[in-house]
Amino acid sequence: MNIRALNNSLIIGIAVLAPIQCLAANVPERFTGVWQAIENEDQACKASDWNSDRHTDTHIKIEAGLVRYHESECRFKSVSRPKVEFDSGAVHVAMTCDGEGERWTQTGIWQILPLGRNDTLAMVNVSKQRPGISLYRKCGGENAAVAPKNTTRAATGEAGDMRAAMREGRHCFAQKDEGVEFSLSVGSSGSASFSVDVANPRTKHLCSAKGTVAETAQGWRYVDKSQPTEVCQIDIEISDRIRFRFANESCERRYCGARASISSLEFSAQDKKESCSRK
């Protein structure tokens, strides 16, 4: 891969996009999630790596309003993209960063490129202080499916919709190695409640959220009004996997300690258990 050519093409691509439209200081959803710096073609990662002892300084987590690195965070000051007629998919970001006792600003051009079997995120830093380019691969179910150690698991029971099986009763899911557990209890009247816990015994990363949920077209929704200054909402999306989405990413800090995450969790049919170990 010619990094210099890629760098130049991205910079030229954004330079000719003088007619731009400014977004709220949030990146488009396609950029959000856990990513890992590309070191070789055969590497694979999962979103749950962020909560495990596999979390390294090669991982980043992009949320709507910020980027979490291993030892620092960057918050978006502005995000802009070309108008529709000029749109190449790239965005221009300006951020303020804090970490290890330092504070700095950073300006960059981001674009997702269809390289290889998975999308690749190219992050071109055009700041004079820290110029350079970084390439990241998205971590998630797709990458887990191409990793040799996960081939058997990906081929069994994960292609179908799990919603049909999650009716009346208590449904328990767990990943013991990661110290995570999720349960959904559905009553005969249609009322339901959930509980999700992260208690990784190695990294000591902790999360805990529970409460009554309402059914939606995608799964279930929890609305937390315990703090009147900010109403938090968690969407539990159920399809071939169970995923968690926050309407406001900052709300995740209400339920999680530093570097711990609920939104990076995914449960498949293979994670379903006969009973829940946590009450």
Give the pLDDT of residue 146. 37
Tell me 155's DSSP state.
Answer: T
What is the reported pLDDT for 157? 38
252, with CB counted inside 10 A (0-12, 13-18, 19+), is buried
Torsion angle of alpha carbons 149, 139, 129, 96, nearest 10°?
Answer: -140
Task: Name residue 139's amino acid.
Answer: C
pLDDT band for position 279 (cuts 50, 70, 90) = low
Collapsing DSSP to helix, strand or coil, 183 comes out as strand
pLDDT of 171 reads 93
Q: How far is CA 17 from CA 4, 6, 95, 113, in A?
A: 20, 17, 20, 18
Both tokens assigned to 130? 């820290």
Instruction: Tell me how far apart the alpha carbons of residues 14 and 18 are, in angstroms, rounded to a whole number.
Output: 8
CA 98 to chain centroid, in Å, comes to 21
Which residue spans within 56-189 are E strands per DSSP?
59-62, 66-68, 72-82, 91-99, 102-113, 120-125, 132-138, 169-175, 180-186
What pLDDT sits at residue 186? Answer: 93
The pLDDT value recorded for residue 228 is 83
Mean pLDDT of 227-255: 86
The better pLDDT of the pair 195, 102 is held by 195
Average pLDDT over the chain reads 77
Judge whether residue 34 has pLDDT over 50.
Answer: yes
For 93-97, 122-126, 176-180, 275-279, which range has the lowest pLDDT when averaged over its residues? 275-279
- Mean pLDDT comparison of 123-137, 148-162, 180-194, 198-212, highest-scoring range: 180-194
- Residues 98-117: pLDDT tens digits? 887 888 888 999 988 866 55
| pLDDT value, residue 160 | 56
- State both tokens at 62: 């992009």
Who wins on pLDDT, 89 or 252? 252
